[in-house]
Chain A
């Protein structure tokens, strides 16, 4: 039964539970709040340990008022998430000072569960989830200690708590998956600050894409529902840049007009994107998206823009066509697509005009430009030299070393100088297929810039000048390009076979990479089933179970039935009488059962030898068998050695024993 007053060890258990529950808040709340908690708790512990006087009601009330006032001063209110959690933690600390009865202890432990829950309001990471599970185990062990102060040591208590939680987990999963979710909230949510997020810039100048390519952070992940297109067609469209001042490119004035329609030329590609937070409104889509997801708009240049900046992971499903033919070009767009910087260098203009003069067809002009990149000694490099005020001119005639953005901006400038409407597109190209989960990981380092030119019958046509210099970047992805550069291999030179041999990974790198894939899969699975498991995902999950349009009532019934079934299974396991741990005893009991059928029953107090004597006196004909079995049993059970052999002999003898 629960004792009225609690000993010091129980206090220590409570203290451990409290420390575990409060710890994650150190990352979010002001330090002084945790200090109040720690000081109050240690004070109480020292009172117990050193026999100090516990603070009286006057001191406690003063402390309480002080803490509440301090929290009010800090937040300006006592309502809402942050002040609420701060109050909960500090008041729990002060509660330690007056802990007395079992009721106080129970209340504290229950509130620790609430503190654990409150830490989820700040983060829902896998790590926090794992930590919370540990904290819940320690809190539960604290409850056990409260109910059963003696008889179990700390380890046994933790193990019991762990065993109970392990049994609770499957039940929890059933309820978790099936409990009906609602969209929206019951009452208002507090505003959060968003900062420190990386994403595609809305303005490009030499170096901006390259700086993005230094980051291996995940930009988004894609799961294809149809056959994924080959790597070289994976152009993830982000932004279209129209205007340039010779140095930087930007979107210019966007006009809200009806989106240009396009005619798909191949099968649609359906896929699901999980976009990481970027604090930017761009929504990445495979070239070209046919429709816009919820809360976003398809722009006239076939890019997608969300109404709000993306501040948390976002999921959407899209359909795209990789081969297409776009519509015509309006006069306004034509003007924008031919805009050139005022100070365009004469050398650039002259180069473009020679191509224009030699080729009547716009497509051939573009080919001439690509050919020029290929023929002249242009180099694709991840570490291009810095460029001055006229980067296009410098790049084309002096340095000739550049990254995708250099090639794209030079190409578009040249095309415009030759009178061909063109524009720059930035986004991501390629991605890393995660074989562990069959989805594509696109990182910030896959950021890319390419060009689009407008050709009269076909509309906007994608031209990637980088592909002319470094086809490996497009065919094999950014990671391969990076490794080629590291090994000093020139792009576009090696035959495919030699290249694949060279890019083969060592076992260590391979293992690291595989570990990274599995880790990424773990994270995204966690995200899909924990953080993002709301109404929409639940509906998808239920329809995959064949439970479309199920009502709340039926869903709750289902939860009840599931819980009942699992509990029943547990009940059968827990209440099943356990078999004897000793195999020798089990065999001997079988022998006794055989004898019992003839009416010779062993009394509970009767030892094996005494029983054998009595049996023999009643059935002298079985003397040999009975003596044999008894001897083997005694040897197998109590003998020092040869246990296994004796056991086998016993098994045989008991099996053969017939009356």
Chain B
């Protein structure tokens, strides 16, 4: 995370640059030819047309600049992913003015990520996809906003925008491997509506990051909005997923095996706890617990 990063950036005058495109240079050549013709023929209307087009280029400079100035970029949510997957950083582009912004392209380096039109006082979300290889926190890549609107003669771009937005990257889950330890298994009845069982206990509003398997697709199809089904109840076994049982393996291999076991335990609806050298989590179950466990794995070895 860069020190200058913030939650939202409003593009100011000092953050915007402008240069002519190659079409702009071609247009300048056209103006030169027209001016020579006007001078040679002493033609008043030809002078007028030449100067009109020149002035048009000047005015288009203002329009191109206006297309970006005061545009607000803000960081949205970013669902955690496993290493090896594609993280999608959500970025909001908001237009606080009453004039629409058209043809605004968001770039990362030389790659165009999206080209959007933003209506008056409107906003648009874009996803910035990044393929991740390493566990831990991943910051949103720096972005540039670029436009050639309206005439394509000029090219305006912003300085690199660093947003304060991170994606938590879990260790890549290993191939399915049988649980190595013989943990203490106890059985106890769950009390109340413990989320994490396999009996349907109701729905709640969809939150970004919910597993698509639990989305109430039927309700969504009926146009009732996005909801997530919740499950609970039943008896659960408790397992301990222990770092020490994996002696002899490298750190990353251990982490990815543990991540696999966390996933499996959650899927089999077990109560599970995680035993790490410096940290013990659980026992528990449910998506929050799973996230806590995976987070601990993801950040293993990082100094807080």
B partners with A: yes
Q: Report yes or no: B63 in contact with A113, Cβ–Cβ below 8 A.
A: no
Flag if B36 contacts A186 (CB, 8 Å).
yes
**Which of B48, B54, B152 meets A143, CB within 8 Å?**
B152
Within 85-133 of B, Cβ neighbours of A (below 8 Å) are at 96-100, 102-103, 105, 112, 115, 117
Asked whether A120 and B45 contact (CB < 8 A) given A165-B56, A186-B40, A571-B62, the answer is yes
Could you tell me which residues of chain A, from 99 to 140, have a CB within 8 Å of some CB in chain B? 103, 106-107, 110-111, 113-114, 116-118, 120-121, 124, 128-129, 132, 136, 140
Pick the contact of A176: B51, B59, B98 (CB < 8 A): B51
Tell me which of B30, B58, B69, B148 contacts A575 (CB under 8 A).
B69
Which residue of chain B has the shortest Cβ distance to A135 in the bound complex?
A: B49
Knowing A110-B27, A120-B43, A533-B44, say if A144 contacts B51 (CB, 8 Å). no
User: Is the pair B34, A117 in contact by a Cβ cutoff of 8 Å?
Assistant: yes
Contacts across chains A and B counted by CB atoms under 8 Å: 162
Min distance, Cβ B170 to any Cβ of chain A, angstroms: 31
Check if A363 is an interface residue, CB within 8 A of chain B. Answer: no
A120 contacts B39, C-beta separation under 8 Å: no
Chain A's closest residue to B30 (CB) is A110
Known interface pairs A107-B26, A165-B56, A578-B97; A128-B148 also in contact (CB < 8 Å): no
The closest CB in chain B to the CB of A160 belongs to: B150
Segment at the B interface, from A148-156, A352-360, A391-399, A445-453 = A148-156
- A454 CB to nearest chain B CB (Å): 45
Is the Cβ of B98 less than 8 Å from the Cβ of A567?
no
Q: Which of A106, A132, A167, A570 contacts B45 (CB 8 A)?
A: A132
Measured CB to CB, the closest approach of chain A to B13, in angstroms, equals 8
A457 touches B (CB below 8 Å): no
What is the CA–CA distance of A529 and B45 in the complex, to the nearest angstrom?
A: 10
Tell me if A147 is interfacial: C-beta within 8 Å of chain B: yes
Most chain A CB inside 10 Å of its own CB: which residue of B36, B37, B105: B37
Closest Cβ–Cβ distance, residue B60 to chain A (whole Å)? 6
Q: How far is the CA of A121 from the CA of B45 in the complex (A)?
A: 9
For residue A507, CB closer than 8 A to chain B, the reply is no
Q: Contact: A148 with B59, CB < 8 Å?
A: no
Q: Are A176 and B56 in contact, CB atoms less than 8 angstroms apart?
A: no
* Given contacts A117-B37, A152-B102, A567 and B62 within 8 Å (CB-CB): yes
Question: Contacts of A164 on B, CB cut-off 8 Å?
Answer: 56, 59-60, 63, 150-151
* Contact in complex: B58, A567 (CB < 8 Å): yes
State whether the Cβ of B203 lies closer than 8 Å to any Cβ in chain A: no
Name the contact of B52 in the complex, choosing from A111, A136, A529, A571 (C-beta under 8 A): A136
A39 at the interface (CB under 8 A from B): no
Q: How big is chain B's contact interface, by range?
A: 35 or more
Which secondary structure dominates where chain A touches chain B? helix
| Cβ of B302 under 8 Å from chain A | no
B236 to chain A, nearest CB (A): 38
Q: Nearest chain-A residue to B23 (Cβ)?
A: A106
Let me know if A171 is at the binding interface, CB within 8 A: yes
- A181 to B47 Cα, complex, angstroms: 10
The answer to whether B66 and A113 have CB atoms under 8 Å apart is no
Q: A121-B41, A136-B49, A534-B42 are in contact. Are A113 and B55 (CB under 8 A)?
A: no
Q: Which residues of B contact A160 (CB under 8 A)?
A: 150
A27 at the B interface (CB under 8 A): no
Q: How far is the CA of A318 from the CA of B51 in the complex (A)?
A: 34
Q: How far is the CB of A124 from chain B (nearest CB, A)?
A: 5
**Smallest CB separation, B61 vs chain A (Å):** 8
Is B158 located at the chain interface by the 8 A CB criterion?
no
| Interface 0/1 of B260-275, CB less than 8 Å to A | 0000000000000000
Q: Point out residues on B near A: beta carbons under 8 Å.
A: 23, 26-27, 30, 33-34, 36-56, 58-60, 62-63, 65-66, 69-70, 96-100, 102-103, 105, 112, 115, 117, 146, 148-152
Listed from nearest, the 8 A-B pairs whose CB atoms lie closest are: A171-B55, A168-B55, A147-B152, A530-B44, A120-B45, A175-B51, A186-B40, A151-B117
Q: Beyond A113-B34, A175-B54, A570-B62, list 9 extra A-B contacts (CB 8 Å).
A: A114-B30, A146-B152, A164-B151, A169-B55, A171-B51, A171-B59, A176-B48, A531-B45, A575-B69
